[in-house]
């Protein structure tokens, strides 16, 4: 299917869709003809993004204020999407946050746990709520957002690694159902989160991370459009039975994946255990 038509008529629920990477994915999905439900905590951002998508693309967009840490709110977002559009073809579990920067033993336990809650529980709740709908239809695409933290950023790193393991295991559970699940590592993209990381790193004396933050927020970060394009590819029918894989938007060549699905699925390619996970 030609660009501009790859998601024509597909219903997509995107969490964290009011700004940053989620907003970029929403724009890319709108450009490909998707019907959109956007969920995030901040209504003003949701309404602004929805208005832009309606104006620029003529998109049908529903919004629902949602804290992904709250299972009932995630289930409500799914219910409202079903009420509005009748089904859900794609979910992009994108909502995220960042915790404190510093050595693990010096971090506030509640803030550390909050990052795990937003990323891991938020992704789990999203998957759990949509899978029965997708199983009933015999098709569906789940796109989870991963990433890489590192020393002094252990809560984020632990959360994002857990999401990849969840993705790989869930793909085995869903094998043969017509429902696929994959993960994206978008790279270090200039978002509000990276501005927060940069400033916290400076306050914590982590000069290496601070310098990386300066680089990312000064034009040297990864492409947000490339991450959104990968989300379109994984949400479309082009990737067939590709499932359980982690793809790095900034480092992997993903344009040829549709032609290589059988090869990838018969190997250990694009799995967490591969050497050189990176970006």
Active site residues: 156
Give the span between the Cα atoms of 36 and 160, in whole angstroms. 25
Burial of 83 (0-12, 13-18, 19+ CB in 10 A): exposed
Residue 244 near residue 168, CB atoms below 8 Å: yes
Q: Nearest CA to 115 among 83, 178, 163, 151? A: 163
**Residues in the chain, total:** 279
Q: How far is CA 52 from CA 42, 48, 72, in A?
A: 16, 6, 28
Helices (H), ranges, the chain? 20-31, 43-57, 71-85, 109-116, 122-137, 154-173, 192-204, 207-215, 224-235, 257-265
Beta bridge partners of 142: 91, 181
Residue 94 near residue 145, CB atoms below 8 Å: yes
């Amino acid at each position: 299917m030609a660009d501009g038509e790859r998601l024509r008529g597909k219903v997509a629920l995107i969490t964290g869709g009011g700004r940053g990477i989620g907003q970029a994915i929403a724009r890319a999905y709108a450009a490909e003809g998707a019907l959109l439900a956007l969920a995030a905590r901040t209504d003003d951002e949701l309404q602004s993004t929805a208005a832009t998508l309606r104006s620029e693309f003529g998109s049908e967009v529903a919004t629902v204020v949602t804290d992904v840490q709250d299972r009932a709110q995630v289930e409500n977002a799914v219910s409202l999407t079903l009420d509005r559009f009748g089904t859900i073809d794609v979910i992009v579990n994108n909502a995220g946050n960042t915790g404190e920067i510093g050595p693990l033993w010096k971090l506030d336990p509640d803030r550390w746990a909050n990052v795990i809650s937003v990323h891991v529980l938020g992704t789990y709740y999203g998957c759990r709520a949509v899978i029965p709908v997708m199983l009933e239809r015999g098709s569906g695409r789940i796109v989870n957002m991963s990433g890489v933290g590192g020393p002094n950023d252990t809560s984020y790193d632990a959360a994002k690694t857990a999401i990849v393991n969840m993705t790989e295991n869930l793909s085995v559970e869903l094998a043969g159902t017509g429902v696929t699940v994959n993960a994206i590592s978008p790279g270090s993209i200039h978002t509000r989160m990276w501005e927060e990381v940069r400033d916290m790193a400076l306050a914590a004396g982590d000069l290496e991370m601070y310098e990386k933050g300066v680089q990312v927020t000064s034009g040297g970060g990864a492409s947000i459009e490339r991450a959104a394009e990968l989300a379109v590819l994984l949400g479309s029918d082009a990737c067939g039975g590709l499932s359980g894989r982690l793809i790095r938007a900034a480092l992997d060549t993903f344009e040829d994946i549709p032609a290589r699905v059988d090869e990838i699925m018969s190997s250990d390619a694009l799995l967490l255990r591969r050497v050189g996970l990176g970006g």
